Amino acid sequence: MSADADVPILHIGYHKTGSSWLQKQLFPNARGLSVVPRIEIRRQLLIPSPVAFDPGQARANLAAGRSGRLVLSEEELSGNLHTGGLHGAFSLELADRLHRTFPEGRVVIFLREQKTMVASAYKQYIKSGGTRGIRGFLTPAASPHKTPNFSLDFLVYDRLVEAYEKRFGRENVAVFLYEELASQPRELMTRMADTLGLDIDSAAVSISPVNAGYRSGTLALLRFLNLFHAREMPNATCIVNIPGFHSLLGVLAPRLERLPFMGRVQELGDFLTPREVQDLEDRFRESNGRLEKSRALGLARFGYALP
């Protein structure tokens, strides 16, 4: 990709791939960028219905009063994690919206190995108000076209990458791995700068983890306490709704996390049997193989299941 100060950067996620770090550290410390607030991205691109969406008006509103190269960084642009991108339909709708709004844009997609993604997604589900065990969380809805729910199909990465390549051109879609960010953040930062034409003040960028997941004890307590608020969350149960209780938990949970007896950070093998983990791996082998053949990302280095 050639550097171009007039070309918007469209970072679409995925969820749980270091988006908070990009939004709070990398993009704000790159010279000449104008980072659009996430609330404005949601207002202009996520909230309007398909019949009401106006790409010209959305572009004008997103650019209004801003100078420099626009950056849209919002992980929900890949679709909502807890609804599977509304059965995948809204994920493709958002690809169309972005292309209609910024056809010259450079798309940035971060991926994460599916086993660690599922574990992280489940922890986020509990943090966001979920009440089910992991098997209930992973059980597909009987009528997914009617009932929004988490879906493993959401993690079939090659299809979404291909959808963006068809719209923007392969040369305008950059794919990075969360594992590279976690293990070699400085090297990844340099590669992003070269790929996207960024001038990053690397000394100002902290590489400390942002938005780390909760430990086992905190998650177990939250899962129980989530029964007492009716926050908008698919696949969750409320016994009694206590107004404001979810906000209170958001303050309480980080304090609980600091207690020494709250357990450890769990991996997928702590939630599922080895056979279940193997079945989950097998589900993504062909998709990951297609992606590796197309992109040569070195997925094997980070434990991605391959044919």
Question: What DSSP letter does each residue of 261-274 carry, written as one string?
Answer: TS-----HHHHS-H
Q: What is the pLDDT of residue 175?
A: 98
At residue 2, the pLDDT reads 42
- β-strand 69-73 against 106-111: which pairing, if any? unpaired
- Rounded-to-integer distance, Cα 290 and Cα 176, Å: 16
Is the Cα dihedral 195, 196, 199, 200 positive or negative?
negative
Question: Measuring CA to CA, how many Å separate 203 from each of 27, 30, 73, 92, 299?
Answer: 13, 11, 22, 37, 29
37: DSSP letter: P
Asked whether the CA dihedral 75, 170, 155, 84 is positive or negative, the reply is positive
Q: What is the pLDDT, as a whole number, of residue 142?
A: 87
Q: N- to C-terminal Cα distance for the chain?
A: 30
Closest CA to 307 of 153, 274, 287: 287
Q: Using CA atoms, how far apart are residues 266 and 116, in angstroms rounded to an integer? A: 10
Q: What is the DSSP letter of 211?
A: S
How many alpha carbons lie under 13 Å from residue 72 in its C-beta half-sphere?
A: 29
Whole-number pLDDT of residue 285: 98
For the beta carbon of residue 301, count every other beta carbon within 10 angstroms.
11
The helix or strand, by DSSP H or E, that contains position 245, with its residue range, turns out to be: helix 245-257
Give the start-to-end residue ranges of the domains of the chain. 9-210+274-302, 216-269
pTM, two decimal places: 0.94
**φ/ψ (deg, to 5) at 109:** -125, 125
pLDDT of residue 64: 95
Asked whether the beta carbons of 150 and 137 are under 8 A apart, the reply is yes
Tens-of-pLDDT digits for all 307 residues of the chain? Answer: 444 778 999 999 999 999 999 999 999 999 999 999 999 999 999 999 999 999 999 999 999 999 999 999 999 999 999 999 999 999 999 999 999 999 999 999 999 999 999 999 999 999 999 999 999 999 988 898 888 899 999 999 999 999 999 999 999 999 999 999 999 999 999 999 999 999 999 999 998 876 778 999 999 999 999 999 998 888 899 999 999 999 999 999 999 999 999 999 999 999 999 999 999 999 999 999 999 999 999 999 999 999 9
Q: How far apart are CA 16 and CA 282, in angstroms?
A: 21
**Which residue do the tokens 């980080």 mark?**
254
pLDDT at residue 14 in the model: 97
DSSP calls for 117-134: HHHHHHHHHHHTT--S-H
pLDDT for res 208: 80
Q: In terms of CATH architecture, what is 9-210+274-302? A: 3-Layer(aba) Sandwich (3.40)
